Amino acid sequence: MLLCAEYVLPITSDPIEKGAVLVRDGKICDLGPAAQLRSRYEDEEVRDFAQAALMPGLINVHTHMEYSVMRGMAPDEPYATWLAAVSDIEESLTELDLYYSAIIGGLEAISSGITLLGDTSTTDAAARALHELGLRGVVYRETGAMDKHQIASAMDAAIEDIERWRSLVDGDRITIGIAPSALHECHPSIFRLISDYAGDSVPVAMHLAGSREEYDFVKSGSSAFSLAKMERHGCIEFPPWLPTGVTPVNYALNWGAFEAGNVLAIHCVHVDDDDILKLRDRDVAVAFCPRCNSQLGMGVAPIGEYLRAGLRVGLGTDSPAATDSTDMFSEMRIGLMVQRAVSTQDFLPAHTMLEMATIGGARALRLDDKLGSLEVGKLADITAVDLSGSHQTPTDNPMSAVVNTAGNSDVVMTMVGGTILYEQGKWNIDVEFAKSIAQVMKVRGKLRH
């Protein structure tokens, strides 16, 4: 199949005007000027996307697909009260509710040009949804307990689930990893156990230094994360938390959280220079979630400093219950504007945000040998973004146009492994679309009452 468009954006090399990409057997076999490839492969099926940009599928390194049904349920709340509200809502959802919620989140991702999602969950909803929708993913099974006597059983349950989830999915598309619960919900001894279990083969993700509440709680023992919250999570020790006097990054480091070979730290908003050096020295990747951080008043991650330090940084949309959508275009645009506003000496260019949403995400997940850019030999995870709108014409810089002017509605095609899952408003998937919508509406009705 020969994909043609006004622009081809390889990301790791210069844009190609009037370009084409040859896809065979699920991989990229050639790319270059369309005229040359049409002549070279005369018998190849041609799909011409006209005034569009062909680019790598967007890589969303952090989300919670099963929370898609909760969007708009806890609006205009700061992080600590939002977290409590979402926890209360989640308790009323069944596993079937969470599955259909994850399906809806996955459908939105496909139509938004996302081809890979990194998801953190305690149920198999996201893993099953990714598998059935034909998407690629890294799903982290979250585990933890405040009571140290419950840690062993929590780890056993997580490992059992990881093995079961692996049996449910296509291992070529979906990897199952592990994630410790948030620092304020987790006895620290679990970090070493997770690192030992993960080694160099199992990916690890952890929420870290995301909010001022977490920072104050870890360092000083006082914040909105109260004793009542910990009692809710089964803590029986007293006192349940003593001030550590160190930053969340230092705290996690001291308990062995960064010893595994593939660790993704989510947020990393409240850090100092020493924290950044320690993350760099241990090659910890960062998931940058600017909309969630802004929406919940969590703060602004020092992305310029991370990039200068050489950290691997990917972009994530985080929970739809916070941001209300799985929208990487809004994520890129808001992330760009916020960084420029608060870091006036680090004027972040648009192409850097697009890199974070593609090859940067692949690097953060250690998948850049297979994904994240249009290069010969890589997997054919490709999206086409229409740039023919009046707000985009004329287009002198297609990479900037994608970040500054494009949106979900401009996505005209999403391909995973050479299979087109979405094109011009139509899905090519083995999921009952209408039934999924109806189920989610039913769940929404239940939550409203």
The DSSP element (H or E) to which 100 belongs, if any, is helix 95-111
Q: How far is CA 237 from CA 11, 38, 188, 234, 248, in A?
A: 52, 70, 13, 9, 21
pLDDT tens digit sequence for 146-191: 888 999 999 999 999 999 999 999 999 999 999 999 998 889 999 9
Kindly report, residue by residue over 101-132, the tens digit of the pLDDT.
999 999 999 999 999 999 999 999 999 999 99
257 and 195 within one domain: yes
Overall number of domains in the chain: 2
Whole-number pLDDT of residue 445: 84
Give the pLDDT band (50/70/90) at residue 220: confident
Same domain, 345 and 398: no
* Cα–Cα distance, 206 to 295 (Å, whole number): 20
Between CA 263 and CA 279 the distance in angstroms is 10
95 and 234 fall within a common domain = yes
Q: What is the pTM of this model?
A: 0.95
Is 18 in contact with 30 (CB distance < 8 Å)?
no
For residues 397 and 305, membership in a common domain is answered with no
pLDDT per residue over 296-322, tens digit each? 999 999 999 999 999 999 999 999 999
- Same domain (yes/no): 350, 421: no
Pick the closest to residue 267 from 240, 296, 297, 290 (CA basis). Answer: 290
Give the model's confidence band at 221: pLDDT under 50 very low, under 70 low, under 90 confident, else very high.
confident
Give the whole-number percent of the chain exceeding pLDDT 90: 78
Mean pLDDT of the chain: 92
Q: Summarize pLDDT for 77-99 with one digit per residue, the tens.
A: 999 889 888 888 888 899 999 99
- Tell me which DSSP letter residue 324 carries: S
342 and 391 together in one domain: no
pLDDT tens readout for residues 1-44:
999 999 999 999 999 999 999 999 999 999 999 999 999 999 99
